[in-house]
A and B are shown apart, each in its own frame.
Chain A
């Protein structure tokens, strides 16, 4: 066949692939760490002072991208928790509840501004400690965390307008336990509304990501916030349990795994403590045949690979209408091949390190389960670093609703793909989960979006986008994804006693 003949029958040629490597590669572009000086050791922040733990024990926090130790952190025990709760109670009774609401707001604004001033430092430390990419900590985590403080600062002196015709009052001391996926952001989600509502706080960051919480403690100290209003204790699960079980706490706010959430709910039952739980998820991302396909593919990628999939509302169950399934999956595979996995500090990295060795093993376990279940796996062709905890972005097709990988939360960059034929079918399957945190709907048809939002049992539903967060918008789940809302007015109400 001559060249011309070939050209004259282009449609007979095999489907063409794209070459995403070679020719022009990006040079390494690491964010500088020279402006960051971590201490060798971080103590507990109790009653406005940095103090050594009663346990005399410290544990190490490591960088999951290279397994190097970043700093030692105090391990708080029951005695430390008791000391912190007493400090918080004293501060609540003597200072914070006596202060005018306007003054309370000023402190919160001050914390927000100090965080903005130190935004670069916070972003770099977050990336070092959590393994998330600098692009995300710089563009998402830190700015959003600041915005939560700014937003709730504004409410501090307007509580009676937030809940008209009601009498509102603070609860007292709030015990807050946060996860490792968005360390600073979760601290902001918890502390900002608690302070605005007039409570004092005892907060425990996760054991693998304590450093930005300690930087936040330094910022809070610098802001001149009265001693004891915010206390930050680092430690493990038993530290958290001591907070949950402390009799002088009025409110527990927990974000983390569903298993721990269940334990907390049992522990709190009958104690009169107010409780909000923000737990796991296995959220459905639904692509209809009329969806803007290229943007939907972007949304799928953002939905599951944002923060290495360590997102409670990650769009980990993809449902694609059968008529476009082949095209969507093909495009998704192409897109996977253009994702850069590696050094989280490099400004061009799209997917960073898995947060801990333990989580890496969990993800690998589920990938094996997926293969054993007979699902077809596709992983991106990228190279991953030898040292540190990394996983290639992974897709599973030929997955059924009864597959374990489609039922259980993996909390990693692993997407399961199912196809569907009709709207009723996809609504049924999307709701057929013990979880109900979030969902995504992709369609060009406005009426279908509204139909879906009324029928999907999930706390957050995104239309033609995914993983969008804003301080003004409430966030929280149905069923095993927890109860209570964070963010917005609802998030403020969770820290108030609201009476007629």
Chain B
């Protein structure tokens, strides 16, 4: 895993981020509409829905989170719907740093990862020092993955070096934990900026790039996710280094999740269709997927009361 450390130092040709490729919004919308016309039926639907479950970062990020709430969510993460056989677990749970130890304990050796937001999530309005401490605290408590936020103020002011250096510094503080970099695309406003942020984060050492905190709308629109997937594709071609993608916020239906998978499949191909390289950040997606899976087997929809809320 040490290969993830200081990876940013290995890129010799860091591009001028002012020259990130242009993105045409109308064209992106058109492409996304094409993905949405894909018809996913029968076996491919069942297989796709199970993939979605296995890619979820089950998330609770509230001021009122307690160890009890986190323990319950961790149980759900391992037992999505025990009445249905052959279901995978989710990929990870995502919590605040103070809940990492509790989550780690609750998940034991289940293989489910613990992801922690850090760097003064969600606003990122704090000093470098505090952000590094925040990150180290989460890692020391056992976090396998760190979800950091970029400094959007600095980014929008054009201080790309600051944003780059900050990501690189947090990456170093992550140690062996994988780093997801959140752009809060709802605050970046244009797809050109989303593309630029993606390029900065990947060259600075991000293992994953992530759309949103879930606290700002719009969050993970397909347009934004597609723009980021294109950036990942170009980065892989240039450097040979794979970067993962995590849309988060606003993906609450199975249908939308499947459309996201279609988009990944047709943009990056099969190698990204697993939870090592693709995640959904979601709190309520799992139950809609479960409902669809049960329907696929029985032919009937059950009410929401048949699926547990944790």
List residues 417-471 of chain A with CB under 8 A from any CB of chain B.
Answer: 444, 464-465
Among A20-28, A79-87, A96-104, the stretch that binds chain B is: A20-28
List residues 40-73 of chain B with CB under 8 A from any CB of chain A.
Answer: 40-45, 47-48, 51
B196 to chain A, nearest CB (A): 13
Could you tell me the dominant secondary structure of chain B's interface residues? helix
Q: With a CB–CB cut-off of 8 A, which chain B residues contact A14? A: 240
User: Contacts A24-B48, A294-B230; is A19 near B22 (CB within 8 Å)?
Assistant: no
Closest to A12 in B: B240
Closest to B12 in A: A11
Q: With a CB–CB cut-off of 8 A, which chain A residues contact B295? A: none
Closest to B191 in A: A292
B83 at the interface (CB under 8 A from A): no
Q: Are the C-beta atoms of A16 and B21 separated by less than 8 Å?
A: no
B128 at the interface (CB under 8 A from A): no
User: Contacts A4-B3, A444-B22, A464-B26; is A27 near B41 (CB within 8 Å)?
Assistant: yes
Q: Are the C-beta atoms of A292 and B39 separated by less than 8 Å?
A: no
B157 to chain A, nearest CB (A): 23
B21 to chain A, nearest CB (A): 6
Q: Are the C-beta atoms of A330 and B23 separated by less than 8 Å?
A: no
What are the interface flags for B196-231 relative to A under an 8 Å C-beta threshold, 1 for contact and 0 otherwise?
A: 000000000000000000000000000000000010
- Distance in angstroms between the alpha carbons of A298 and B39 in the assembled complex: 20
Closest to A4 in B: B3
User: Contacts A10-B241, A338-B266, A348-B38; is A3 near B23 (CB within 8 Å)?
Assistant: no
Q: Are the C-beta atoms of A18 and B13 separated by less than 8 Å?
A: no
B101 at the interface (CB under 8 A from A): no
- Distance in angstroms between the alpha carbons of A126 and B51 in the assembled complex: 36
Q: Are the C-beta atoms of B41 and A29 separated by less than 8 Å?
A: yes
Closest to A6 in B: B3
A295 to chain B, nearest CB (A): 3
Q: With a CB–CB cut-off of 8 A, which chain B residues contact A21? A: 270
User: Contacts A8-B10, A11-B12; is A27 near B270 (CB within 8 Å)?
Assistant: no
- Distance in angstroms between the alpha carbons of A291 and B273 in the assembled complex: 29
- Distance in angstroms between the alpha carbons of A10 and B42 in the assembled complex: 40
Q: With a CB–CB cut-off of 8 A, which chain B residues contact A19? A: 269-271
Q: Are the C-beta atoms of A15 and B266 separated by less than 8 Å?
A: no
B10 to chain A, nearest CB (A): 5
Q: With a CB–CB cut-off of 8 A, which chain B residues contact A292? A: 21-24, 27
B11 at the interface (CB under 8 A from A): yes
List residues 14-68 of chain A with CB under 8 A from any CB of chain B.
Answer: 14-16, 18-29
A165 at the interface (CB under 8 A from B): no
A7 at the interface (CB under 8 A from B): yes
Q: Are the C-beta atoms of A16 and B22 separated by less than 8 Å?
A: no
A246 at the interface (CB under 8 A from B): no
- Of B12, B240, B261, the residue contacting A24 (CB under 8 A) is B261
User: Contacts A19-B269, A298-B31; is A7 near B3 (CB within 8 Å)?
Assistant: yes
A235 at the interface (CB under 8 A from B): no
- Distance in angstroms between the alpha carbons of A21 and B24 in the assembled complex: 28
Q: With a CB–CB cut-off of 8 A, which chain B residues contact A379? A: none
List residues 262-300 of chain A with CB under 8 A from any CB of chain B.
Answer: 290-296, 298-299
B20 to chain A, nearest CB (A): 11
Q: Are the C-beta atoms of B43 and A11 separated by less than 8 Å?
A: no
Closest to B261 in A: A24
Q: With a CB–CB cut-off of 8 A, which chain A residues contact B11? A: 10-11
Residues of A within 8 A of B (CB): 3-4, 7-11, 13-16, 18-29, 135, 139, 290-296, 298-299, 330, 338, 347-348, 444, 464-465
